[in-house]
A and B are shown apart, each in its own frame.
Chain A
Amino acid sequence: MLELFTDYTLRNVALGSALLGVVGGALGTFAMLRRQSLLGDVLAHAALPGICLAFLLTGAKAPLVLLVGGGLAGWLAAWLALAVLRHTRLPEDSALGVMLSSFFGFGIALLTFIQQRDNANQAGLDQYIFGQAATIVAADVANFALLAGMALALLGLFYKEFKLTTFDPGYAQSLGLPVRGLGTLLTSLVVLAVMVGLQTVGVVLMAAMLIAPAAAARQWTDRLGVMLALSALFGALAGVSGALISASRENLPTGPLVVLAVSAILLVSLFFAPQRGLVWDWARTRQNRKRVHLERLLLDALALLQHGPLTPQALAQHRRESLAAATRHLEALEAQGWVRPGPQGYRLTPAGQQKALELQMALRSQPSVFPSP
């Protein structure tokens, strides 16, 4: 932990990853709610040919120039993808899948061409495939901060409009909002986020930084603002912890570790978040089933008591179940404190009577919920 403040390289890597986490998490929230996560993946992959072309055209290896090239190509790909979706009847996943592979394939071809052309000078371009965070220096961090700052500032400025166009585009348009333009702007902000991630996680893993924090955040809250903040926080957390873990051992790549960290956060959220988490969901369902089961038993017991004694034999006959099952059921009711064994079979306790009364009232006010006996 302490190295974070003393180790110059580590500090830059951690800062760069954290910035990526924040901006990816924030923009990913909207991408996810607009069902455009896959579009994010397309424009991330499409950055590769853009980076290569920027290098071929300018001969520069300055990261900012390459990032801008990558961003432009990503933007073009997104625009193309949306145009194809709008004007053809191709299914969305097919259209985006083809687009992704084509741009990425073109990028790999360009990369190979550059490698063969001047071997000495190409060094480093292939780092944009999976990222190479170790190369991040203070100047890069400054670039990231600029890009991320721009994206976040615009996101804050148009937050209300983005929210409405995402939730109900038709209504937004009826209010006079330029829905198309706002969509384009939001996509452009996603491009900025991708540019921040190119050096750290690369084009292949970038989509995870858009999707995972947002999906994890959605598990914990029902408010858009909170979701946005949480998503950014999860992204930053993953960025910093990925950087720290990779620094703790030799030869551990930062980008993949950041992605693994964010996946771990998502996994925990999917299982353990209250309300939406699988574990609680499962436990709640189980508990509800058990409760309804016991309530039915109590009503059966009540029905029996109106005609005679409540014994395992009588219950078994009434419910058409085995004697063992009926005995177990009576014990369950006893454990609940609703019945008590007596000399002439079981009797309702005061608590049991109270509960049975409540159930009957509920039944009467909501006759459709249970079939009447």
Chain B
Amino acid sequence: MTLTQTATLPLEVRDLTVVYREQPVLWDVDLAIPPGQLSAIVGPNGAGKSTLLKAVLGLVPRASGQVWFFGQSLREARARIGYVPQRNTVDWDFPTSVLDVVMMGLYGQLGWFRRPGKREREAAMHCLEQVSLQDLAHRQIAQLSGGQQQRVFLARALAQNADLYFMDEPFAGVDAVTEEAILQVLHGLKSQGKTVVVVHHDLETVREYFDHLTLLNVQVIASGPMEETFTSENLRRTYGAKARTGG
């Protein structure tokens, strides 16, 4: 891999190891995510998928390893990175509205002390339209269904207008209609040349939805274009003997 290639990679991870308390949760992870593609991270429960996203984004400390975004450090590239955390990580009874949450995606651009105003409200509204939630803009967030909550988080990330997105299980616990809506958003991002890295759980759909696949179980088992990587041998090594290839 030449230097210029490396510089254009949206995400490159080398020797990443994360330890919470006892054993490593991630061990010596090397990863290269290609630009402009929908990329899936798949693995069993506890494989370290969420931890991988968090470690890459600097939300949990790394025991070792280096991470580059577009050839830059996290600090330099931060404005180009969007994040959709797992839905259950926040208290949805928090006193705020849907539009307010989406505007939080603009706080990074606003910088310190400046409050969101009319322009930010319009931008946030535009993002809500992309996930078909414009009618619920002024609703208290506790009055949303799980699928709607997921789309609010998605809209918030869209508001960041990033080049590289990390999403932690955006398809978890949503119905077929919402799944389709989220998929549309992902395709929209791809058509704008953006890179999306998604933690995904459903082996039945992963081949259909994504271009690139990383199989993770503490270590990277395999990573590459979908057709090459989605093999029963790789899945067996990731999940153990019980895995089905689906489809």
Q: Beta-carbon contacts of A261-296 to B below 8 Å, as 1s and 0s?
A: 000000000000000000000000000000000000
Q: Does B140 sit at the interface, judged by CB under 8 A?
A: yes
Option from B83, B95, B113, B116 in Cβ contact (under 8 Å) with A227 = B95
Q: Are B85 and A221 in contact (CB under 8 A)?
A: no
Q: Are A175 and B54 in contact (CB under 8 A)?
A: no
Q: Which residues of B lie under 8 Å from residue A221 when comparing CB positions?
A: 95
Option from B110, B113, B140, B156 in Cβ contact (under 8 Å) with A222 = B140
Q: Closest chain B residue to A275 by CB distance?
A: B140
Option from B59, B90, B110, B115 in Cβ contact (under 8 Å) with A167 = B90
Q: Which residues of A lie under 8 Å from residue B116 when comparing CB positions?
A: 160
Q: Does A368 sit at the interface, judged by CB under 8 A?
A: no
Q: Are B59 and A33 in contact (CB under 8 A)?
A: no
CA distance A218 to B107 in the complex (A): 25
CA distance A222 to B140 in the complex (A): 6
Q: Which residues of A lie under 8 Å from residue B160 when comparing CB positions?
A: 175
Q: Name A190-247 residues within 8 Å CB distance of B.
A: 218, 221-224, 227
Q: Which residues of B lie under 8 Å from residue A119 when comparing CB positions?
A: none
A-contacting 9-mer, from B96-104, B179-187, B202-210, B220-228: B96-104
Q: Name A27-41 residues within 8 Å CB distance of B.
A: 33
Nearest CB of A to B82, in Å: 8
CA distance A176 to B101 in the complex (A): 17
Q: Name A148-185 residues within 8 Å CB distance of B.
A: 157-161, 163-164, 166-168, 170-177
Q: Are B59 and A223 in contact (CB under 8 A)?
A: no
Q: Are B104 and A168 in contact (CB under 8 A)?
A: yes
Q: Are B94 and A167 in contact (CB under 8 A)?
A: yes
Q: Are B104 and A157 in contact (CB under 8 A)?
A: no
Nearest CB of A to B141, in Å: 9
Known A167-B101, A168-B89, A170-B89; contact A33-B108, beta-carbon cutoff 8 A: no
CA distance A172 to B112 in the complex (A): 13
Q: Are A218 and B95 in contact (CB under 8 A)?
A: yes
Q: Which residues of B lie under 8 Å from residue A166 when comparing CB positions?
A: 94
Q: Are A171 and B108 in contact (CB under 8 A)?
A: no
Q: Are A170 and B59 in contact (CB under 8 A)?
A: yes
Q: Are B78 and A223 in contact (CB under 8 A)?
A: no
Known A161-B107, A222-B140; contact A167-B89, beta-carbon cutoff 8 A: no
Q: Does B58 sit at the interface, judged by CB under 8 A?
A: yes
CA distance A369 to B101 in the complex (A): 31
Q: Are A171 and B83 in contact (CB under 8 A)?
A: yes
Q: Which residues of A lie under 8 Å from residue B101 when comparing CB positions?
A: 167
Known A161-B112, A168-B85, A170-B85; contact A175-B107, beta-carbon cutoff 8 A: yes
Nearest CB of A to B27, in Å: 23
Q: Are B108 and A176 in contact (CB under 8 A)?
A: yes
Q: Closest chain B residue to A175 by CB distance?
A: B108
Option from B96, B108, B156 in Cβ contact (under 8 Å) with A224 = B96
Q: Are B85 and A171 in contact (CB under 8 A)?
A: yes
Nearest CB of A to B25, in Å: 16
CA distance A174 to B58 in the complex (A): 7
Q: Are B78 and A175 in contact (CB under 8 A)?
A: yes
Q: Which residues of A lie under 8 Å from residue B57 when comparing CB positions?
A: 173-174
Q: Are A223 and B104 in contact (CB under 8 A)?
A: no
Q: Does B47 sit at the interface, judged by CB under 8 A?
A: no
Q: Does B81 sit at the interface, judged by CB under 8 A?
A: yes
Nearest CB of A to B105, in Å: 8
Q: Closest chain A residue to B142 by CB distance?
A: A222
Option from B59, B83, B91, B110 in Cβ contact (under 8 Å) with A160 = B110
Option from A160, A176, A218 in Cβ contact (under 8 Å) with B115 = A160
Nearest CB of B to A157, in Å: 6
Of the candidates A160, A175, A176, the one having the most CB atoms from chain B within 10 angstroms of its own CB is A175
Q: Are A176 and B59 in contact (CB under 8 A)?
A: no
Q: Are A168 and B90 in contact (CB under 8 A)?
A: yes
Q: Name B100-126 residues within 8 Å CB distance of A.
A: 100-101, 104, 107-108, 110, 112-116
Q: Closest chain B residue to A177 by CB distance?
A: B107
CA distance A160 to B110 in the complex (A): 10
Q: Name B64-99 residues within 8 Å CB distance of A.
A: 75, 78, 81, 83, 85, 89-91, 94-97
Q: Which chain B residues have a beta carbon within 8 Å of chain A's beta carbons?
A: 54, 57-59, 75, 78, 81, 83, 85, 89-91, 94-97, 100-101, 104, 107-108, 110, 112-116, 140, 142, 156, 160
Known: A160-B107, A171-B156. 19 other contacts (CB 8 A): A160-B114, A160-B116, A167-B90, A167-B94, A167-B101, A168-B90, A170-B54, A171-B104, A173-B57, A173-B58, A174-B59, A175-B78, A175-B108, A218-B95, A222-B97, A223-B96, A223-B97, A224-B100, A227-B95
The 7 listed contacts between A and B (C-beta, < 8 Å) are: A33-B95, A160-B107, A160-B113, A160-B115, A164-B107, A167-B96, A175-B78
Query: Considering the complex of A and B, which 9 residue pairs feature the smallest CB-CB distances, nearest first?
Result: A222-B140, A175-B108, A174-B83, A168-B90, A176-B78, A224-B95, A174-B57, A167-B94, A222-B95
